[in-house]
Amino acid sequence: MATNSKLIIGIIGAGRLGTAIARQSLKAGHRVNISNSRGPQSLELMLGVLLPGAVAMTVNDVAQKSDIIILAMPLNKYSALDPEWLAGKIVIDAMNYWPPTEGRIPEFMNEQVTSSQYLQQHFDRARIVKTLNHVAYNEIEEHSLPPAHPQRRAIALAGDDDAAKKQAEQFIDTIGFDTIDLGDLQEGSKFQPDTKLFNARLTKAEIEQIVR
């Protein structure tokens, strides 16, 4: 898919992060499908005011009808998603295992396995890319800059599927950020909570320096 092609972005979770990504996606000219836990009707008021143009759907429909699916819901609700819905799909995991905000989740407590690796095992046929998780939701809009801007912020990615990562990188470029591919899903450990990259405004060169 060419850099400028318009995508259908499917967002699961219509809270702070989900609506911020949705707004940036609409601005970039993509189509947006979005869902929460309570069904499309519950989103009508919100979309009318905050996201005109976005389409409310069930979670399953979002998964079936979108090019890239973005998980933007609390991680502690992940088991509400049927792995079948995500099978074969490019899935951006923007969530965090972050005990100070969502509490401890026993299956995510193994420090050898990143939260996205755990999700990859659980959603075994999804093509998971970990990214967008380390940027505060408001900064997805406030820090967005055009390509080649010297201060353009970079967003890290990790994933086991190269083609999926490529597509995620192209998408992130359209919403105003550079990207930096840090390797397979294990490398997600470099930009989880409690790392130097988490919630820090950094350019690609600055991230390279930190992770090298």
Partner 1 sequence: MELGVYSFGDVQQENGKLGPTSQAIPNLLEAIKLADEVGLDFFGVGEHHTDYFPASSPATILSAAAAMTKNITLSSAVSVLSTDDPVRIYQQFATANIISGGRVEIVAGRGSSTESFPLFGYDLKNYDELYAEKLDLLMKINALEKNEPLTWEGQFRAPIQEAMIVPQPEHPIKIWLATGGNPESSIRAGALGLPIAYAVIGGQVSRFAPMVDLYRKAAEHYEQTGDHMQVAIASPGYIAEDAQDAKDTFWQAWESTMTTLGKVRGFAAPTRSHYDAESGRDGALFAGSPEEIAERIIELHKRIKHTRHYFQMDVGQLPHDKFLQSIELLGTKVAPRVRKALASGN
Member of 61, 67, 102, 181 binding partner 1 (CB under 8 A)? 102
- Distance from C-alpha of 36 to C-alpha of 153, rounded to nearest angstrom: 29
Pick between residue 36 and residue 167 the one whose CB is nearest to ligand NAP. Answer: 36
- Distance from C-alpha of 117 to C-alpha of 189, rounded to nearest angstrom: 10
Q: With contacts defined by CB under 8 A, how many residues of the chain interact with partner 1?
A: 33
| 95 touches, from partner 1, ligand NAP, none (C-beta below 5 to 8 Å by class) | ligand NAP
CB of 148 to ligand NAP, least distance (A): 25
CB atoms within 10 A of CB 112: 7
CB of 43 to ligand NAP, least distance (A): 8
Which residue of the chain is nearest ligand NAP when measured via CB? 15
Which amino acid, 190? K
- Distance from C-alpha of 163 to C-alpha of 193, rounded to nearest angstrom: 26
- Distance from C-alpha of 135 to C-alpha of 173, rounded to nearest angstrom: 15
Which amino acid, 180? I
- Distance from C-alpha of 99 to C-alpha of 92, rounded to nearest angstrom: 21
| 48 touches, from ligand NAP, partner 1, none (C-beta below 5 to 8 Å by class) | partner 1
CB of 2 to ligand NAP, least distance (A): 28
Binding interface with partner 1 (CB under 8 A)? 14-16, 19, 36, 45-46, 48-50, 74, 76, 98, 100-103, 136-139, 141-142, 192-201
